[in-house]
């Protein structure tokens, strides 16, 4: 305890000192860096540098992860922030234990299964997305607080201080930041508070200009000073509730921005859950991820179990990709039928992750034929070899804008953390005077039952968490950390993580090459969305020859990873080009 207190005092002094906040040139985006003392990788160089600075001053992986996440709330506010939620996975090197925090947003207690139904019909998705109806009770600040209390060495004030300074001092606008605002300019312009913050003079901030958000800086300071009481029952919370119930629609706007039902009591009641992580053994490695309410860990885990029955190191590239695509088609069929908030339905997590169930599904895959889609779900409680007992469970399109970060420290601890406000720009509603966007996470619920007559675990409900696809992943080799990985991307998170794992583990690609590889994302549909480079490949031509169909989409995911090197070093990895490229950092290079 004395050692922990001493570290906290030294680190808090360093974080709050003027020297720690000296202006410096924008750090470059680097996809790979190797060295010692710990590592951080995120989509943003300023955020990654904040995490590295925490590690250099004696903080551990949890301290740095929270500081990095807070910084991403400044520089990547259209993907994450204090108005959203996420999932935090932690590996403790001393005990060898993997633990998780479920900081997913919850529906207000006034919500029921007809939250998005009007006059017997579902609300159009585009209208639901930009509304108070879509806003879930934020879980990100409580996640930061709980992670620091359980495993950190510093407090919330110290962890959030660098991000507060970043918001006040400002950062250089890059093309990604500019484009994200331009993509949402029409709906941002319809909300006065959002327009005023992100469309100064009616246009997105120019590339190369400095963007400052002093209101967010003040919000961070107040959250930290009050130990989050200002959000969960105090002035910030009252502003959130007022905004949800009375969205600040611009005069003359014709957009139907529906009010939401959140109350101050909903904010006061919010709790972070601590479920057991998902776990599967794959090629002798232990793969841990996030359990329900996320479907990420179960769906990645089932896909890996399906692939386990084939020696993918010995098949052709076409056959490897064929089996990868079919494995996620199967696991998505089962996710859509069985996964939801475990407090509201019986989610057969253990059964979904059993090798017996996976084998009953894997035998459906044939080398020269494509499974029809949407596929029916299997019954993990009573597996029937090569059979399907439930009606088809098709996937719907999910928003694809989250962010992911990974951190390791000098002691070998690791964090894999995915956080989000759901769509790019969330609900599109900035809390007036507070500088942050509110999520539209409740649109992850199914608005009406997917399959009539079949129980749907993902309908809205009071205090319920909507199903997610986030899959922050930690891989151990005989109890020791091998690597950590994850990606943003809505439902494509599952396929991105699965593809990276099988390319690295089975096909022996370097972790960076596995991240760089062109992606496809099959989610139980007749056509597989894929990147242009994937469709143009010889492997795609071979896949088309056996019946696969592809549709071209933009970049899929923006992965980050860190791997442990022999001798205790680290290799930090990030996307070289997707979303403008990521920022991999180590404490000491070499």
Under a CB-based contact definition with an 8 Å cutoff, are residues 99 and 90 in contact?
yes
Question: 422: left (phi > 0), else alpha (psi -120 to 50), else beta?
Answer: left
CA-nearest of 493, 490, 492 to 471 is: 493
Helix, strand, or coil here: 35? strand
Cis-peptide into 176, omega within 30 deg: no
Three-class DSSP category at 407: strand
Residue 372, exposed/middle/buried by CB under 10 A (0-12, 13-18, 19+)? exposed
How far is Cα 268 from Cα 263, in angstroms, rounded to an integer? 9
Q: Say how far apart CA 22 and CA 341 lie, in whole Å.
A: 45
Name the burial class of residue 212, with classes exposed (0-12), middle (13-18) and buried (19+) by CB atoms within 10 angstroms of its CB. middle
The 8-class DSSP code of residue 201 comes to G
**Token pair 């962890």 in the structure block, residue:** 159
H and E: helices and strands count for the chain = 20, 18
Which member of 130, 402, 408, 443 is catalytic? 402
H-run or E-run covering 21: none
Element (H, E) at 66: helix 61-75
Strand 85-92 with 414-420, pairing: antiparallel
Rg (CA), the chain: 22
How far apart are alpha carbons 492 and 296 in whole angstroms?
10
Q: Is the separation of the CB atoms in 157 and 393 below 8 Å?
A: no
CA nearest to 428, candidates 216, 193, 212: 193
- The answer to whether 422 and 104 have CB atoms below 8 angstroms apart is no
Q: Which of 432, 348, 464 is nearest to 106 (CA)?
A: 464
C-alpha–C-alpha distance, residues 399 and 449, integer Å: 19
Residue among 443, 469, 449 nearest 124 (CA): 443
Token pair of 372, please? 């029809």
Q: Is 402 a catalytic residue?
A: yes
| Strand partners for 270 | none
The DSSP 8-state label assigned to residue 533 in this structure reads: H
Task: Name the residue among 403, 556, 405 with its Cα closest to residue 485.
Answer: 405
Residues annotated as part of the active site: 402
């Amino acid at each position: 305890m004395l050692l922990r207190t001493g570290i906290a005092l030294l680190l808090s002094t360093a974080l709050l000192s003027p020297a720690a906040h000296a202006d410096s040139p924008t750090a470059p985006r680097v996809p790979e860096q190797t060295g010692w003392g710990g590592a951080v990788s995120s989509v943003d160089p300023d955020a990654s540098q904040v995490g590295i600075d925490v590690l250099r001053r004696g903080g551990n992986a949890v301290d740095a992860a929270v500081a990095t996440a807070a910084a991403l709330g400044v520089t990547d506010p259209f993907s994450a922030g204090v108005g959203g939620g996420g999932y935090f996975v932690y590996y403790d090197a001393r005990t060898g234990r993997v633990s998780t925090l479920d900081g997913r947003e919850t529906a207000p207690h006034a919500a029921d299964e007809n939250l998005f139904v009007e006059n017997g019909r579902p609300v159009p998705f585009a209208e639901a997305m930009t509304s108070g109806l879509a806003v879930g009770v934020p879980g990100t600040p409580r996640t930061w607080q709980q992670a620091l209390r359980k495993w950190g060495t510093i407090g919330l004030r110290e962890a959030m201080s660098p991000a507060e300074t970043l918001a006040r001092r400002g950062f250089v606008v890059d093309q990604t930041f500019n484009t994200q605002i331009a993509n949402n300019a029409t709906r941002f312009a319809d909300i006065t508070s959002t327009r005023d913050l992100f469309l100064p003079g009616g246009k997105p901030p120019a590339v190369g200009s400095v963007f400052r958000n002093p209101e967010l800086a003040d919000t961070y300071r107040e959250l930290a000073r009050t130990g989050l009481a200002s959000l969960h029952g105090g002035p910030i919370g009252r502003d959130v509730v007022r905004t949800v119930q009375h969205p600040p629609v611009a005069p003359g706007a014709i957009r139907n921005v529906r009010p939401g039902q959140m109350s101050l009591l909903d904010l006061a009641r919010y709790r972070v859950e601590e479920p057991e992580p998902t776990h599967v053994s794959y090629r002798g490695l232990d793969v841990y991820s996030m359990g329900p309410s996320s479907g990420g860990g179960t769906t990645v885990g089932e896909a890996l179990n399906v692939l386990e029955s084939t020696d993918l190191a010995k098949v052709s590239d076409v056959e490897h990709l064929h089996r990868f695509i079919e494995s996620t088609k199967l696991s998505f069929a089962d996710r859509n039928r069985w996964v939801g908030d475990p407090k509201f339905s019986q989610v057969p997590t253990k059964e979904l992750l059993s090798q017996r169930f996976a084998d009953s599904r894997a035998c459906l895959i044939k080398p020269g034929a494509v499974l029809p889609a949407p596929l029916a779900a299997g019954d993990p409680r009573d597996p029937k070899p090569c059979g399907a007992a439930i009606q088809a469970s098709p996937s719907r399109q999910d928003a694809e804008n989250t962010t992911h970060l990974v951190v390791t420290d000098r002691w070998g601890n690791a964090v894999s953390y995915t956080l989000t406000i759901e769509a790019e720009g969330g609900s599109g509603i900035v809390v007036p005077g507070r500088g942050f966007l509110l999520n539209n996470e409740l649109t992850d619920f199914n608005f009406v039952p997917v399959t009539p007559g079949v129980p749907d675990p993902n309908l809205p409900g009071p205090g319920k968490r909507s199903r997610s696809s986030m899959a922050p992943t930690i891989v151990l080799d005989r109890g020791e950390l091998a690597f950590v990985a994850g990606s943003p991307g809505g439902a494509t998170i599952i396929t991105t993580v699965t593809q990276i794992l099988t390319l690295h583990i089975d096909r022996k690609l370097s972790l960076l090459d596995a991240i760089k590889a062109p992606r496809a994302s099959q989610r139980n549909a007749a056509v597989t969305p894929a990147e242009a480079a994937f469709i143009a490949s010889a492997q795609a031509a071979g896949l088309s020859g056996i019946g696969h169909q592809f549709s071209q989409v933009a970049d899929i995911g923006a992965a980050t990873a860190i791997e442990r090197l022999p001798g205790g070093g680290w290799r930090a990895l990030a996307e070289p080009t997707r979303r403008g490229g990521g920022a991999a950092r180590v404490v000491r290079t070499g």
